[in-house]
Every structure is written in C-alpha cells, then in structure tokens.
Amino acid sequence: MIPNWHSFLLCALLLISWGRSGDEKSPPPVATTDYAIYALLINADSQCNHETDQTRQKRLVLINPTTSTPTADSLDEFDELTTFRRLATDYMLDADWRTFLEGINRKKFTERTLSKVPKLQCRQAAFLPRRSDQQNFVDLQATYKNLEKLIYLSQVIYSPDQSKAMCFYTEISTSDGGSGSCFLLEKQNGTWTIRTRISLWLS
C-alpha cells in the first residue's frame, strides 16, 4: 500500500506543535512571602476603622494576576533617586539600605504568577480578567459597578539577609489617572512593615 504522505506530514506537524506547546511554560509563581507584602501595600491607603472609610468596605480592587516589570519612567526616576543620593537625604536611609537599592536593576524583575488574591482588610479583591488590557477603566466600571481601582504589582525583591524588601506598585483609579510608587519595607520582629513609600509618578 502506498503511504499517504500528506497524512503522515500532517501528523508529524501536529506532534511537533504539541511538543512545543508542552515546552511553553507559564511564568513561575510568586514567592509565598510576597502575598503578605502585597496585602500590606494595598491596605496602606485603607483605614478600615475610620468612619469615612466605611463606604469602601464593599469596594472592589482588581489585581493583575501576573507581576509587572517597572516601566522605564519608573526605573529612570528610581535611578535618579540613587544617583543623587536622595535616598539618604530625603528618605533617611542608612548605608545598608543604599547598598541594597543601588544593586536594583531591570534584570532583577521577572514575570511571575499570582495563584491567589492577597487578603485585604476591608475591600474585596479579584484578579483582572483576561484581555482587560483591551478595556479602559470606564469599560471595566460598567462591568464591575463597585470597582475602586486596578492594581499592578512587581516581583518583590529582597535583600540578601531577607531583612529588607522593595516592590513597585501601580494603581489606576480613573479613566485617565493613576500613580506609581516604590515601597521599601523592613522586617521587624518577624513582621513586614512599610519603611517608606516613594512616589515615582502621578497623573
């Protein structure tokens, strides 16, 4: 019997395609310790026991399910902070902090996947839906009536002794407005606390 070469070739191509798709790996998960830090950052502007903040208790925060690499503008501003020693003068950071931060560069940040939403104090949290980049904030508000903001987080970078950490944080809260920050954190008595929040951009 004469082999059907067209069928053979098709099967071979399918096998190659399946093999390649199996090789394509999703981004690795974020470190378990990152979730507590993410919750701390998102909760930073929430005063859950404050009388005027009660209306936020049912507001929704949508979090990007993969970590983001800091934008070029954010990194340029961060580089300026370290270059002109503002970290020491404006933010009162000691030599250990400056040594840690001066070693930060774009290569430190990789795309990672969040497997769960951080636990927030008084707001609801969910992941941004797929293809949300094709929708603006107003479109998302039409779908999520109680939407408060969109959150984009970077991978958390730790100092070698795990006593210091930093994370880039972006929030979008209107159709054309948002902000970018860099949070610096310290571990005190086994618990992460915010050392300072550096504003990188505001629109």
Locate 110 and state its tokens.
């990789």
In a domain, 164, yes or no: yes
pLDDT confidence band for 76 (50 / 70 / 90):
confident
**Least confident interval from 52-56, 131-135, 140-144:** 52-56
pTM: 0.80
71 within some domain: yes
User: Do 87 and 98 form a contact (C-beta atoms < 8 A)?
Assistant: yes
Please say whether the beta carbons of 118 and 71 come within 8 A. no
| pLDDT in the model for residue 112 | 94
pLDDT of 52 reads 57
Between helices 72-83 and 95-102, what is the axis angle to 10°?
A: 140
Region label for 6, one of left (φ > 0), alpha (ψ between -120 and 50) or beta (otherwise): alpha
Considering the domain boundaries, does residue 125 fall inside one?
yes
Most confident range, picked from 82-86, 118-122, 185-189: 185-189
Say what the pLDDT of residue 117 is.
94
Q: Tell me the pLDDT tens digit for each residue of 54-70.
A: 566 678 999 999 998 88
Query: From the centroid of its chain, how far is CA 185?
Result: 15
Domain limits for position 106: 28-202
Answer with the residue of higher pLDDT: 73 or 94: 94
Q: What are the structure tokens assigned to 135, written together?
A: 């929708």
Residue 71 CB contacts under 8 Å (≥ 6 apart), including other chains: 170, 180
Give a yes or no: residue 7 inside a domain: no
Look up residue 167 and give its amino acid: C
Interval 144-163: pLDDT, tens: 989 999 999 999 999 999 99
> Mean of the pLDDT values across residues 165-180?
89
Is 104:68 a contact under the CB 8 Å cutoff?
no
Q: Give burial (CB, 10 Å; 0-12/13-18/19+) of 28.
A: exposed
Beta bridge partners of 164: 186
Number of domains observed in the structure of the chain: 1
pLDDT of residue 106: 77
Q: Which of 26-35, 36-45, 144-153, 173-182 has the lowest mean pLDDT?
A: 173-182
Could you tell me whether strands 164-172 and 157-158 are parallel, antiparallel, or unpaired per DSSP bridges?
Answer: antiparallel
The two structure tokens encoding residue 167: 């994370």
The answer to whether position 47 is within a domain reads yes
